[in-house]
Every structure is written in structure tokens, then in C-alpha cells.
Amino acid sequence: MTELTNKSALELAAGLKSGEFSSVDVTQAHLDRISATEDDFNSFITVTDELALETAKAVDAKRSAGEDLHALAGVPVALKDLVVTEGTRTTAGSKMLENWVPPYESTVHNKVKAAGLPVLGKTNLDEFAMGSTTEHSAFGNTRNPWNLDHVPGGSSGGAAAALAGFQAPLSVGTDTGGSVRQPAAFTGTVGVKPTYGSISRFGIIAMASSLDQVGPMGRNVADAAALHELLAGHDPLDSTSLPDEVGGFLSAAQTSELKGKKLGVIKQLAGEGYQDGVRTAFTAALETAAAAGAEIVEVDCPSISYALDAYYLIMPSEVSSNLARYDGMRYGLRVEPESGPVTAETVMSATRAAGFGSEVKRRIILGTYALSAGYYDAYYGSAQKIRTLVQNDFAKAFADCDVLVSPTTPTTALKFGAEKAADPMSLYLGDVATIPANLAGIPGLSLPAGLADGLPVGFQILAPAREDIKLYEVAGPLEAALESDGGRVLDTLAEGLNAK
């Protein structure tokens, strides 16, 4: 690694503003880092080096001319390959879209371009965001920079690995049931799932539309907050976009203190069935928060016990509906049958059989069944009722607490080919702590809380809907307190990578 790739996004922004180095210098350093490490990590599906350097040169020219620029102008970013990028292929990690070049632009990419952030490339993911390990990609597994025998989490595994591997200072992921927060926990980075509707989903390839949310990712809380401010805001192109004014996240992360904050530990997510090291790190983080002046209380959210079951009915039902568009007729892959008549039905069948992976097929089948006549009320309808109960439980808990907290995941990063891979349900249980936030539409954040057996542990913070700033009011000072106690988690990784 170089000095430039080791800097945080805000450190890079300060150096660019002062003229200490140029955006071309920063961008090229990260592209060189990607080139040197991509065989190990496989974080990216597409590296857009020429486009990134063009943007960097343009930013440098504007800065030299004295133009007013966004605070993050010139700082590189990586985009999950669900973010539609006009003129650059967008695959969703699937053979179905392997060679698709979008004719339109996502709002997220438009905002990134307008602010002058060079896009290093499109990161790897579980196919159509379905998975928790980034093992379900048509473009190979992404590996965890902490230990290449372990997964980086998913589905935003490539975005997280790019951060942890010092290939990018900022990443954009998506979170449907924990797909930003879980890989952040597995890689020792910071991942944010904002309030549903606070960042535009226009041009984000849909998995489950009532659950999907774009999420900023960084190597520290302040970097994630700065990216969150850039991405958030109302978008008339997205019918689910909130009209709220957003901002103040970075200031909250940098100036808040824990004294007087009330943290509610969710009884149902307090550690039963959790890995010993995860429980120990979470308890230690709570003690650090208490020592810094926070009040720790236990809260009861009984419906959370049913959240996982409800999610795995609602999510595949929406998957079944959203993925019906991939029919071999309009765009993407087209496969004709090897024999027999070539009809709409036979082309669709052959295309979907060849284009979708096993996990995608599993969820489509489950969702189609849940929506079928005679089962809709029993399954999908009942799951939506549970969703309402989860929302009500959160509302009651937030009436007494500033934020709610839990471990982000029950375990540290799993090994590739773990015995759990043969049992999808056991993998789904890894989302038990992250899924409730998506069902309720509330914001959540995962930050590093130490190590267990040499791998990172995540600490999850949840806040009321539309009050994302509360995440940063707690996460910023807690991160500082944890680093004061035990040092920065990623420094351990940086030392190891430099030693190699």
C-alpha cells in the first residue's frame, strides 16, 4: 500500500483542497492498488480506469481554475454493480446481464459524477443481491482481505472488500436485509442502511422494492457520513423518495458525545446463539459506551423473533415479481431451446435456466409459491402483518431510547465452502439482527467493535425512521471511544497487508 491508499476519504479531501496532491495522483494510486491485489480479492467485476482518470483530470483542472467544488471532489469511489451506469456495463453479478450496457443513468451515479468523484469501477456481489457471502456471483468469489479463506459477506461483499483491501476509500452498496451492514461487520469497515426512501433507488437494479436501500460505506464513520450527505435527498424520478431535507451527518459524527445518550439493547438480539467472541466484543463495546457517559438499558421487541420468517416470505415474493422482466425478449441474455419449437415460452424457459444461478432460482420459486392462489393470505399476507408488528415494537422502543443496539451478525466471517453452504436456511439465520431494520424501514449502521479470533466484529446501531442523524450522534463518539481503548481495527489489517 502507499500513503495515499492508506488515507481516509476526508484526509484525501483535505489534501486535495490544500494542493498536497492531485486527484490524478490519488486515483492512479488506487488503480495501481487494484491491479496489484485484484487477483487476491476479486472485489471488482469491471474496473473503469480510463473514466476514473478522465474525471480526476477534470477535477484537477477545475480546482486549478479556482472553481467551487464539492468537499469530496477528486476522492475515488467504487459502485456496487447494481448501480446503473450509462455506457458502462452493469451486470448485477449475473450471466443474465453479463454484457448489458445501460442506455440510461441512475440518480446515485449522477450525484457522484456531479460531485466529481472518480468511479474506480463496479464491485462484485451475490447475483441480483441474493446472498450473504458473495459466493453467488457469476464472476467468481470475492475474498475477505482479512483472511482469503473467509467470505467478505454479502451481497455487497465486493464493495466492502474494496474498502478493507485499501483499493477504494469509499464504496456504495445496497442493503435489502443487511447487505451493507453484514459485509461491513465481516471486513472491519463502516456500512450504513439509511431510512427507506432517503436515497433514490432510481437506476438501482431491483431485488425487493419495499426493502432495497442504497447504503454508503467507508473505513470510518465520518467518511460514511460525508458520502451519505452526498447521496441523500429527494428524487422526483423515484416514487418512494422522501421529500425530507437531509444533512448534518458529518458534523454529528465529528462533534457529538455519548454523555446523556440512551442505548437500548434489544433483548431478542442480545446474544443467544451468538459466537462467544462476538458476544464478548459487543459487551466490551457497551462497557466503553457506558464509561463515556451513555446509559445502557434493555428493551423488549417480541415481534423481532418472527422478523426473519416474515422477511423470507416478503423478499422472495418481490424477487419473483421483479425478476419476471428477464425473459429473453427485451434485453440481457437470450437463449433459444436446443430442440423443439422456438416460442416465447421456450425461449423464456431456456434463458432463465441458463441466466439465473441456483440461489436466484430458489428465491423465485419460493416467492412464486407464496404469491400463488390459495397461499397469498396464508404466507405473504401474514408476513406483512408481522412487518407491522415489528414497526410498532420499534416505535415503542424508540419512545424510551435514542438508539437501539445489537451485534451486527451472530458470527465473524465464515469460511468459504463452510458446511452451512449446503443448508441455505442456516445461512439465512445470519441476517437475524439486520433484517428487522429493512422490514421497518428504519436506518441502521455497523461499525467495527474489535476482533474475535483475528476477524472483525460489528456493532449495530438502529435509529428511528427519518432520524438518521442519530446514528452518527452515537456512532461517531463510540468509534472514537473504542479506538481510544483498543486502537483502530483496520490498522491491524493494514499492518498485515503491508507486511506482505
pLDDT greater than 80 at residue 497: no
pLDDT per position as a tens digit, 80-135: 999 999 999 999 999 999 999 999 999 999 999 999 999 999 999 999 999 999 99
pLDDT at 233: 98
CA–CA separation, 481 and 450 (whole Å)? 12
The model's pTM? 0.97
Which of 84, 27, 26, 73 lies closest to 51, judged by CA?
27
DSSP letters of 43-79? -EEEE-HHHHHHHHHHHHHHHHTT----TTTT--EEE
Cα distances from 306 to residues 264, 365, 432, in angstroms, run: 20, 22, 10
**In the structure, what pLDDT confidence band is assigned to residue 500 with cuts at 50, 70 and 90?**
low
Q: What is the mean pLDDT of residues 12-30?
A: 98
Q: What is the mean pLDDT of residues 458-465?
A: 98
Cα distances from 79 to residues 10, 33, 126, 368, in angstroms, run: 18, 17, 14, 30
Contact (Cβ atoms closer than 8 angstroms) between residue 190 and residue 159: no
- Quickly count: other Cβ atoms within 10 Å of residue 498's Cβ: 10
- Of 80, 95, 193, 470, which residue is the catalytic one? 80
Helix axes 157-164, 23-41, angle to 10 degrees: 120
Which amino acid, one-letter code, is at 295? E
Going 356 to 362 to 366 to 369, the CA torsion angle's sign is positive
- Of 22, 43, 156, 179, which residue is the catalytic one? 179
CA dihedral 66, 71, 75, 78 (to 10 degrees): -140
Q: Annotate 130-181 with three-state secondary structure.
A: CCCCCCCCCCCCCCECCECCECCCCCCHHHHHHHHCCCCCEEEEECCCCCCH
pLDDT at 111: 98
Average pLDDT, the chain: 95
pLDDT at 427: 72
With b for 16 or more beta-carbon neighbours within 10 A and e for fewer, the 382-401 pattern comes to bbeebbebbbebbeebbeeb
pLDDT per position as a tens digit, 54-82: 999 999 999 999 999 999 999 999 999 99
The DSSP symbol for 88 reads: B
pLDDT per position as a tens digit, 383-417: 999 999 999 999 999 999 999 999 999 999 999 98
pLDDT at 491: 87
Which positions ≥6 away from 116 have C-beta within 8 Å? 23, 55, 58, 59, 62, 69, 70, 72, 73, 74
pLDDT greater than 50 at residue 290: yes
**In the structure, what pLDDT confidence band is assigned to residue 487 with cuts at 50, 70 and 90?**
confident
Residue with cell 503491508: 498
pLDDT greater than 50 at residue 432: yes
Please identify, in words, the CATH class of the domain defined by 1-267+400-499. Answer: alpha beta
The question of whether 179 is a catalytic residue gets the answer: yes
Cα distances from 500 to residues 34, 278, 280, 494, 496, in angstroms, run: 15, 27, 30, 10, 7
CA–CA separation, 328 and 333 (whole Å)? 6
Which of 319, 421, 401 lies closest to 367, judged by CA?
319
pLDDT at 494: 80
- Quickly count: other Cβ atoms within 10 Å of residue 352's Cβ: 20
pLDDT per position as a tens digit, 134-149: 999 999 999 999 999 9
What are the counts of helices (DSSP H) followed by strands (DSSP E) for the chain?
A: 18, 11
**In the structure, what pLDDT confidence band is assigned to residue 489 with cuts at 50, 70 and 90?**
confident
**In the structure, what pLDDT confidence band is assigned to residue 499 with cuts at 50, 70 and 90?**
low
The question of whether 122 is a catalytic residue gets the answer: no
First to last CA, the chain: 10
CA–CA separation, 18 and 287 (whole Å)? 39
Residue with cell 441458463: 354
- Of 43, 106, 137, 155, which residue is the catalytic one? 155
pLDDT greater than 50 at residue 16: yes
Domains of the chain by residue range? 1-267+400-499
**Residue 334: all three cell numbers together:** 437470450
pLDDT at 422: 57
pLDDT at 419: 46
pLDDT at 273: 79
The question of whether 8 is a catalytic residue gets the answer: no
Which of 193, 99, 119, 107 lies closest to 155, judged by CA?
193
pLDDT greater than 80 at residue 418: no
- Quickly count: other Cβ atoms within 10 Å of residue 354's Cβ: 13
pLDDT greater than 60 at residue 420: no
- 471-473-477 Cα angle (round to 5): 110
